[in-house]
Structure 1
Amino acid sequence: MPMGHVITLTFTHDTPEHVFTALSASLDKLASACQGIESYWHGKDLRLRETTADYAVTAIFRDHDAFTAYLAAPAHVRLNAELVQPYLAEKSSVQFDVPATTHP
């Protein structure tokens, strides 16, 4: 069964802008290199509301095995160690089953 993954990241206030640029490029490469990703979107918060995180990633994976492989992928581990963890203030994530038929 397909599954969804959403993560929100809040970075420290002194996180340099180049980190977001590098994060975006790295996530694009990661998504194209990993098997089993059906949908993958990410980006910086638009700042339309006050109580939001700084960055989000949302993905639909073919199944739980594809998600597990994504988490263990060397590029994912490296990206997390180099571009996320050094600047991370807070994160939240959720994984959920995606039914075969969805409603708008």
Structure 2
Amino acid sequence: MTLVDPLEVDDQYGNPNPALYYGPGAPRRDVRGYMQPATSTEPVETGRQPEITDWRLFTFSPVGSREQVEWRGRTFRIEGEPLMWEPPFGRRRFWVLLVEVEG
């Protein structure tokens, strides 16, 4: 899977809060991890039929809260702060909650 670290760019109005750009010029790094689906919901909204899927990512690589995950042609947004677990023996692990919205 690929982690995309966004670039901060000026928005179209020149506001002091930069917009985040995840396009082709944004830095990317490939990491190994395990993806696991968690839940899926289809909220009822007039004129829109979104499908919201929550996933979990388990990895040994540090993950930032503003990064996005690209995996098998899909793009996931990180929900909240990634959790870290550092056991007394072994490697540090990261658990990341991901959200994918379609429709």
Q: Give the TM-score of the pair, scaled to structure 2.
A: 0.29
More helix by share: 1
Larger Rg over CA atoms:
2
- Which structure has more strand as a fraction of its residues? 2
Whose relative contact order is higher, 1 or 2, with alpha carbons under 8 Å and at least 6 apart? 1
